[in-house]
Structure 1
Amino acid sequence: MNVIQFENQHDQRAVGIVENNTVKCVNGVESVRDLALMAIKNQFSLEQQVQQLGYSDESYDYSFLLAELKVLPPLDHPDTAHCFISGTGLTHLGSASTRDKMHQQNLNDAASVTDTMRMFQWGVEKGKPAAGDVGAQPEWFYKGDGSIVVRPGTDLPLPPFAEDGGEEPEIAGLYVIGPDSKPYRIGFALGNEYSDHVMERRNYLYLAHSKLRFCSYGPELRTGELPNHLVGTSRLRRDGEVIWEKEFLSGEDNMCHSLSNLEYHHFKYQQFLKPGDVHIHYFGTATLSFADGMQAQVGDEFEIEMKEFGHPLKNKLAHTQPELPIGSVITL
């Protein structure tokens, strides 16, 4: 089942199920988070909860909603401070070589390559532990809270201090923390994790800075388990023309970590288990246009497509607000 959040004809929030190009409205809920909390309370799956609620008489043309930018990220929180955006790297087979390729212009920094390969190898050796065992920790990063999320089809801002704004085509896990302080995965979505690869290439210790950027995910939330083998396409368009296109792989068959291991190493921290909170966690990629020598420009459009997730995720690169002047911190 593929689920979206959107603004209806009355500019009110609604939850819909996508069937072909039609969106059927779910009765009684205005957000996927509310739907998930209802399902947790009733001990239902998300699909069972939708079946219990049923559908209203309203339906919408999906293409129209997307064109009018009415489709919201498929999971959010009414208070953006309670939506956590994070991710893991070096999780996919081939991701280490992609990372090393990014650092090839920084050959004097041997540690950046050595540590990359060392952490990747830990994942290869111990990233898929037996049931009940703890596997190797992945690379982990924080991107921000819900305020850095842009809806599908809208612009990804390029900060004035940024050296690059490049796509990262990934699958994201979408979670709600239940009243019992346990994480509930409600589904998966396509994601553009969007990072500053030039900054990261300068020194791998700048990774944390390079990840503090906007991001996008959706437009659809896919319920159930993630297929073990997924093939998608990532594209970069300039003036309407495709200037770069490449296949990207995901699913556990193409990863050196299991999803359960990545989830354990995120949710083992108690501060991530506050009831009602929302978590969006990116699982990593091995495909970047930047690694192939491309550098996105303002006005370029990113497109990430995978048939299992319905409509592709599209966002354009755009300028953002003026930079905070140096010395702007005020002493009280």
Structure 2
Amino acid sequence: MRLIQFETPQGTRHVGVIEGDEIHVVRATDTTRELALGAIAKGHGLVEEVLERGTDPSPHSYRQTLHEGRVLPPLDHQDPAHCLVSGTGLTHLGSASTRDKMHQKNAGEQAAMTDTARIFQWGIEGGRPPAGTPGVQPEWFYKGDGSIVVRPGAAFDKPPFAEDAGEEPELTGLYVVGEDGKPYRVGFALGNEFSDHIMERRNYLYLAHSKLRNCSYGPELRVGELPRHLSGMSRILRGDEVIWEKEFLSGEDNMCHSLENLEYHHFKYAQFLRPGDVHVHFFGTATLSFADNIQTREGDRFEISMAEFGEPLINGIQAGTAELPAGKVKPL
């Protein structure tokens, strides 16, 4: 089952089940979070909750709704401060070589390259432990709260201080913390973990800064387990021209960490178990256009597609504005 959140032309929110180009509207349901909390409270799965509530046909086609910009991220929170966006790196086979390639111009910074290789090797050796057993912890980063999330089809802001505006095609895990304080995986979605790779390349300790950017995920939420091997396509379009494209792989057969291990090392922290909160977690990638010396610019469009997730995730780039000029923090 694949779900979306969308708005009517009048701005009313709904949850829909996607079947081809049809949207089947889940009855009496405004948000996926509400749907998930209802399923948790009844002790059954999301599919059972949808079937119990029932659906009605929508008068608008799915692709029309996407084209009109009315499709929302497939899971969110009405209070953006209660949606945590995070991610893990060096999780996919080949991701260490991609990271090292990004840092080649700073080849004298051997510590950065050595640490990259070391953490990746730890993942190879201990990132896939037996079920129910903690493995080695991955690289982890904070990206922002729900206010940084851009809906499918909308443009990312490139801040005035940014040096790069690069895509990262990834799978995302979408979670709700139940009233029992336990995390529940609602499903998976395609994601674009938009980052500043020039800043990161200057020094790997700048990775935390480079991640504080917009991101997007969706348009569809896939419910249930994932195939172990997934192959998608990441493209950059400039006008009608594809200026770069490359296959990207995901799924556990292409990863050095199991999904269970990545989830454990996120939710082992008590502060991430606040009932009702939403978590969006990017699982990493080994494919970046920046590693192929592609420089994006305002007006470019990213397209990330994978057959198992339905319609592609498309986002543009636009100039952002400075939120706070230098020297404007006021003492009290």
Q: Report the TM range for the smaller structure's normalisation.
A: over 0.9
**Which residue identity lines up with residue 100 of structure 2 in the other structure?**
D
What's the counterpart of residue 234 of structure 1?
234
Residues 61-100 of structure 1: matches in 2 within 5 Å? 61-100=61-100
Structure 2 unaligned blocks of 5 or more: none
Amino acid at match of 1:46: L
Residue correspondence of structure 1 range 96-111 to structure 2 within 5 A: 96-111=96-111
Q: Distance in 2 between matches of 1:184 and 1:125?
A: 28
CA distance in 2, matches of 1:229, 1:58: 33
Q: Is the 8 A contact 2:170 2:192 kept in 1?
A: yes
Deviation (angstroms), 1:132: 2.5
Scaled by the length of structure 2, what TM-score is found? 0.99
Measured after TM superposition, the shift of residue 59 of structure 1 is: 4.1
Structure 1 portions without partners, runs of 5+: none
**Contact map agreement 2:82 2:145 (CA 8 A) in 1:** yes
Distance 2:132 2:307 in 1: 33
Distance in structure 2 (CA, Å) of the matches to 1:243 and 1:290: 12
SS of the residue corresponding to residue 58 of structure 2 reads strand
More moved, 299-308 vs 58-67: 58-67
For the residue of structure 1 that corresponds to 2:263, the secondary structure is helix
Matches within 5 A, 1:167-182: 167-182=167-182
1:130-189 CA-partner distances (Å, limit 9, x unpaired): 123210110000000000000000000000000001000000000000000000001000
**Matching residue of 2:185:** 185
Equivalent residue number for residue 286 of structure 1:
286
Work out the CA distance in 1 between the residues paired with 2:59 and 2:3.
14
**What amino acid is aligned across from residue 162 of structure 1 in structure 2?**
A
Counterpart of 1:247 in structure 2 is: 247
* Identity between Structure 1 and Structure 2 (%): 65
Aligned length: 332
Whole-Å Cα distance in 2 between the matches of residues 298 and 29 of structure 1? 37
Checking the alignment, whether the CA contact within 8 Å between 1:238 and 1:300 is kept in structure 2 is yes
Could you tell me the TM-score, scaled by structure 1's length?
A: 0.99
Cα displacement (A) at 1:60: 2.5
1:313 aligned partner: 313
Whole-angstrom CA distance in 1 between matches of 2:58 and 2:243:
40
Distance 1:322 1:208 in 2: 19
Q: Secondary structure at the match of 1:18?
A: strand
Provide Cα deviations, 1:5-59, integer angstroms capped at 9, x if missing partner: 0002431000000000011100011000000000000111100000000013534
> Counterpart of 2:60 in 1: which secondary structure?
strand
CA distance in 1, matches of 2:132, 2:61: 45
Deviation track 1:97-138 (CA, whole Å, cap 9, x = no partner) reads 000000001011001100000000000000000123210110
Report the Cα distance in structure 2 between the residues aligned to 1:194 and 1:175, rounded to whole angstroms.
20
Asked if the contact 1:24/1:59 (under 8 Å) is kept, the reply is: no
Aligned to 1:18: 18
Number of the residue aligned with 1:272? 272
1:141 aligns with: 141
Residue type at the aligned position of 1:21: D
CA distance in 2, matches of 1:226, 1:55: 25
Deviations 1:260-293 (A, max 9, x none): 0000000000000000000000000000000011
Paired residue type of 1:102: M
Q: Partners in 2 of 1:325 and 1:172 — Cα distance?
A: 33
Residues 241 and 327 of structure 1, relative CA distance in 2, 3 Å threshold? same
Conserved 8 A contact 2:187-2:224: yes
| Residues 144-223 of structure 1: pairs in structure 2 closer than 5 A | 144-223=144-223
Structural mapping, 1:38-53, within 5 Å: 38-53=38-53
Match of 2:118 in 1: 118
Counterpart CA distance in 2 for 1:309 and 1:86 is: 21
After TM superposition, which residue ranges in structure 1, 4 or more long, deviate above 4 angstroms?
none
Q: Distance in 2 between matches of 1:72 and 1:325?
A: 31
- 2-structure distance, mates of 1:7, 1:72: 7
CA contact (8 A) 2:22 2:57 kept: no
Contact residue 32 and residue 74 of structure 1 kept, 8 A: yes
- Distance in 2, matches of 1:67 and 1:58, equals 16
Shift of 1:295: 1.1
Residue 132 of structure 2 corresponds to: 132
Alpha carbons 1:163, 1:198 under 8 Å: kept: yes
SS state at 1:279 partner: strand
Task: Give the Å deviation of 1:259.
Answer: 0.2
Q: CA deviation at 1:192?
A: 0.1
CA–CA distance in structure 1, aligned partners of residues 149 and 240 of structure 2: 24
